[in-house]
Chains A and B, each alone.
Chain A
């Protein structure tokens, strides 16, 4: 089945197709979940919730734009919803409004994706969300502000802080490598 056929079959509620969709995309979606939450079981819960939402709303996907992008968006929203429920995102977002906004280019060239994900997971939840949404998903600060219920400037400052933290951790890792 190609992607279009798979989507059509899922829209019809054919279970084998739905299983196939889970099989095909759950790896990629799990990566998304892991970028937003630190622990694996929670990421798995978010993934399951995302898949249910995808099946529930698949009729609204009109074959316009990337399907991968669409399901990723749903997963991101699920993850943000989870963080919102846990009051994690909001709490950590309040503290950093007056931060220094100077940004340096982030150089993570030597790291593999798994290492980057682990670095991102180590960020505080608020920073993590903003970094993921802006640097990886490509949302603007305005959009992030709306999604997270924070101001645009708060989003910018959190991103700056997140970058700095990442850079710091990256340097630490590099030093460890070199010393090893």
Chain B
């Protein structure tokens, strides 16, 4: 018996009624198209979100992995340069020593032969890249300095000839290095050559000295000569230390280690809405279905101003205010049929003699109302963002990541939604019944690319995401809706400080 009933049940369940499929398809096709378009939009949103997240993650990873390593690399390069310079200098030193020894030997012989007193040696230096050794002067009293673009060197003390066109003689502790290490190397090389040439000049007094060609970069020549024997050792050139220079740079910065910037931003975002049942009931399900069918998500636009404090290390903190408008479209296309009755002629009898007899009565009346309603629902919010960021980059381009929270100060809604009784509900007038007046915190994250337009003016482009932590609805409402936004922001900022 039970088996029979079961079979009957199955028979009823699997029963097919003849339907005109094309007619049904034609009726639902426009809505199916809308559903497909919405799905594609959601898919694009997801792809955009995933791409943004991947970009964010990879940027963060890059900065974390290579952000510090970049500095290390520079240091290594510097130290490599140092080693290279040192090696170069060591080689040069050896060469110098060799040449000095040779020079000394030759000089000693020359000096002995010519009875020259090195204490009173005259060196005429031609500023036009020529060094002439005045080997003819044998009388110390006749020592002189040719003032016409020439410099003199007293070999008894450590002096420096400054070949800057003024022919100044500077004491050791007044040495100023104005060029980089590479220049120093050149100086040393040229010094060695000068010494050699000088010695050769000493050796053959009659032979005119070979001209010394100095690099155009050279502004100061350092020569250290001993008391008795002319000796050129390793120049005591203080290196340009990064830290010291940084300190010097920092002291020159108007804002020290921090810079402050104000920016004006605007952006557009995709809206992703989660709409679900708050209380499990048939009425809630019906409302959910109605609202899903009647509402279309559009876009969110925001405007804001922010102040940003950036540390020299790249970390930043920004806050300000932001105004956001999320827009949705509400459609209600419906046909309502109202029936009532009116008084009228219900029957007319035509008699054989041609007279007519009207019988009055109540007539049924049917009125069809065709509604086509399109309303834009808007959710306006004022928020205060608190955002931490980190940025790194080179020259005029910078890449940064930022994350933080938005504290919502106010939510104001306008528009209409459907409710369970198919009536439209004004969400502006009845906001307190459906929506909160504040939606608490929302989490923000994104990356940004900054490009300097001028010494203080920057333009930024920032793909970002914002996720609301709370539902927008009051607890008593049958549904709960929550939002997340994925978008892009552009802004102009003016920097004060470095």
Binding site for B on A (CB under 8 A): 13, 15, 18-19, 22-23, 26-28, 30-31, 34-35, 44, 47-48, 51-53, 55-56, 59, 72, 77, 80-81, 84-85, 105, 108-109, 113-114, 116-117, 135-138, 146-149
Contact = CB atoms under 8 A, between A and B. Distances in A.
B36 A149 contact: no
A47 B421 CA distance: 20
A108 B31 CA distance: 40
Nearest to B36: A13
A149 B17 contact: no
Interface residues of B, number: 36
Max count, chain A CB within 10 A of own CB: residue among B12, B39, B281, B282: B12
Contacts of B18: 27
B282 A44 contact: no
Q: Which of A44, A47, A113, A117 has the most CB of B within 10 A?
A: A113
B286 A85 contact: yes
A113 B11 contact: yes
Interface stretch (B21-29, B68-76, B96-104, B206-214): B21-29
Nearest to B422: A85
Given A26-B19, A51-B28, A113-B11, 6 more contacts: A13-B35, A15-B36, A48-B28, A55-B35, A113-B15, A117-B15
Contacts of B40: 13
Contacts of A85: 286, 421-422
Contact of B25 (A22, A31, A80): A22
B285 interface: yes
Contact of A116 (B12, B16, B283, B422): B12
Interface of B: 1, 4, 8-9, 11-19, 21, 24-25, 27-28, 31-33, 35-36, 39-40, 280-283, 285-286, 289, 292-293, 421-422
Contact of B24 (A47, A113, A116): A47
A19 B33 CA distance: 12
A86 B282 CA distance: 14
Nearest to A78: B289
A23 B26 CA distance: 12
Contacts of B8: 108-109
B117 to A, nearest CB: 102
Contacts of A28: 14-16
A85 B282 CA distance: 11
A47 B19 contact: yes
B16 A31 contact: yes
Contacts of A35: 12
Contacts of B283: 84, 149
29 contacts: A13-B35, A19-B21, A22-B25, A23-B21, A26-B24, A27-B18, A28-B14, A28-B16, A30-B19, A31-B15, A34-B17, A48-B27, A51-B28, A52-B28, A52-B31, A52-B32, A52-B293, A53-B289, A55-B32, A77-B285, A84-B282, A108-B8, A113-B11, A113-B12, A116-B12, A136-B9, A146-B280, A146-B281, A146-B282
